[in-house]
């Protein structure tokens, strides 16, 4: 089952001809989450053949325009398509007031029902959970209140061996208990241990999104051992002083966060528009954290299942 992120926009404040502002779609087992919604997000959704109707949850890290200016256009399109669905938006509480005058100007009734969930910018908080995935928000270090997001698969039951069902004539009403750890008593009274009946589930996968932010080491405990980390690297190390002034990270900062978090893989992005060629960014980050890749608009990065 998929656990993959598609980059819709990898640039910072100013879009370029081949890099859009920040937006990503995370597909967790068929659940589609939109993370940030910079200008042009709906165009990028079209280009990457991601159906608008699949998106029910939108996470906005903060209220700098390059992270939400595409939202009103997306809402308008969803409405014009006549989609009758709830759209949950997780953001700073002020976002609703910013969007409401434009929403009020739409002609006719809204077909989509917007449900706003205010983020907590002072402490981590579980903001979404279903049977297969949970989402944790946590404050990062920027010039205005900003949150990062951790997406994590929840506990999985074990997989029962099909041949064991046949061998011991296991009834359907017992399978759920066995998957959750129960032993089985056969017709002759013999106890079949759970470890004989099942295959351990694959380990839960995780993805962390950290932008815009200066390196913020208190968050290492939250993102510890994450499978895939997206961390902004707006500037190369030569711009360290400017990065500090603007509460952004350099390539070395991002690599150090990934290294100390014991992340399995790092994606760097949110590149400054002043750099057409970002190959230097990759070279620098890899000096600290070897398993680093560049965020590239339209590219999908997958986390394979693992035992």
Of 263, 150, 291, the residue nearest 207 (C-alpha): 150
How much is the pLDDT for 107?
Answer: 66
How much is the pLDDT for 185?
Answer: 80
Query: Distance between CA 161 and CA 5 in Å, rounded?
Result: 31
Query: Distance between CA 232 and CA 227 in Å, rounded?
Result: 16
Classified by CATH at the fold level, domain 3-156+202-302 comes out as Metallo-beta-lactamase; Chain A (3.60.15)
Query: Distance between CA 251 and CA 239 in Å, rounded?
Result: 10
How much is the pLDDT for 58?
Answer: 98
Take residue 197 and report the two structure tokens written for it: 């009946």
Rounded to 10 deg, the angle between the 71-80 and 94-105 helix axes is 40
Q: Is residue 292 within 8 Å of 284, Cβ to Cβ?
A: no
Query: Distance between CA 50 and CA 149 in Å, rounded?
Result: 21
- Provide the pairing of β-strand 23-28 with 31-37: antiparallel
- Quote the Cα angle for 195-201-202, to 5°: 140
The burial of 41, by beta-carbon neighbours within 10 Å (0-12 exposed, 13-18 middle, 19 or more buried), is given as buried
Q: Is residue 229 within 8 Å of 210, Cβ to Cβ?
A: yes
Where are any strands of DSSP class E within 169-249?
A: 184-185, 191-192, 198-199, 206-210, 228-232
Q: What is the pLDDT along the chain (307 residues), one digit of tens a residue?
A: 899 999 999 999 888 989 999 999 999 999 999 999 999 999 999 999 999 999 999 999 999 999 999 999 999 999 999 999 999 999 999 999 999 999 988 767 788 999 999 999 999 999 999 989 999 999 999 999 999 999 999 877 777 878 877 777 788 887 888 788 888 787 776 777 787 778 877 789 999 999 999 999 999 999 999 999 999 999 999 999 999 999 999 999 999 999 999 999 999 999 999 999 999 999 999 999 999 999 999 999 999 876 5
Query: Distance between CA 56 and CA 89 in Å, rounded?
Result: 9
Domain ranges, ordered by start, for the chain: 3-156+202-302, 159-198
Enclosing H/E stretch for 173: helix 172-179
- Give this prediction's pTM: 0.88
Q: Is residue 170 within 8 Å of 182, Cβ to Cβ?
A: no
Dihedral, CA of residue 281, residue 285, residue 287 and residue 293, to nearest 10: -90
Block residue for tokens 């290294």: 259
In terms of phi and psi (left: phi > 0; alpha: psi -120 to 50; beta: otherwise), the region of 241 is alpha
> Which residues are part of the catalytic machinery?
66
Q: Is residue 280 within 8 Å of 237, Cβ to Cβ?
A: no
The burial of 282, by beta-carbon neighbours within 10 Å (0-12 exposed, 13-18 middle, 19 or more buried), is given as middle
Query: Distance between CA 261 and CA 206 in Å, rounded?
Result: 13
Q: Which whole-number Å values give the CA distances from 35 to 68, 234, 300, in the listed order?
A: 10, 18, 14
Query: Distance between CA 28 and CA 228 in Å, rounded?
Result: 13
């Amino acid at each position: 089952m998929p656990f993959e992120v598609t980059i819709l926009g990898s640039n910072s404040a100013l879009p370029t001809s081949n890099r859009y502002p920040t937006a990503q779609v995370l597909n967790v087992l068929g659940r589609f989450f939109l993370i940030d919604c910079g200008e042009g997000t709906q165009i990028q959704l079209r280009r990457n053949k991601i159906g608008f109707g699949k998106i029910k949850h939108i996470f906005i890290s903060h209220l700098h325009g390059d992270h939400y200016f595409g939202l009103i256009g997306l809402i308008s399109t969803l409405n014009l398509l006549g989609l009758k669905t709830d759209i949950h938006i997780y953001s700073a509480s002020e976002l609703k007031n910013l969007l409401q005058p434009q929403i009020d100007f739409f002609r006719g009734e809204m077909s989509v029902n917007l449900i706003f969930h205010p983020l907590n910018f002072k402490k981590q908080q579980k903001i979404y959970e279903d049977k297969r995935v949970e989402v944790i928000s946590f404050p990062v270090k920027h010039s205005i209140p900003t949150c990062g997001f951790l997406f994590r698969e929840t506990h999985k039951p074990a997989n029962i061996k099909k041949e064991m069902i046949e061998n011991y004539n296991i009834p359907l009403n017992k399978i759920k208990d066995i998957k959750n750890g129960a032993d089985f008593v056969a017709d002759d009274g013999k106890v079949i241990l759970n470890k004989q009946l099942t295959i351990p589930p694959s380990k839960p996968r995780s993805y962390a999104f950290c932008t815009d932010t200066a390196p913020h080491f208190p968050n290492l405990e939250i993102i510890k051992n994450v499978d895939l980390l997206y961390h902004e690297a707006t500037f190369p190390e030569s711009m360290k002083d400017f990065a500090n002034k603007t509460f952004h990270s350099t390539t070395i900062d991002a690599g150090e966060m990934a290294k100390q978090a014991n992340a399995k893989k790092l994606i760097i992005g949110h590149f400054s528009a002043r750099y057409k060629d970002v190959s230097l960014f990759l070279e620098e980050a890899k000096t600290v954290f070897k398993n680093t890749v560049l965020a590239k608009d339209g590219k999908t990065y997958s986390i394979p299942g693992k035992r």
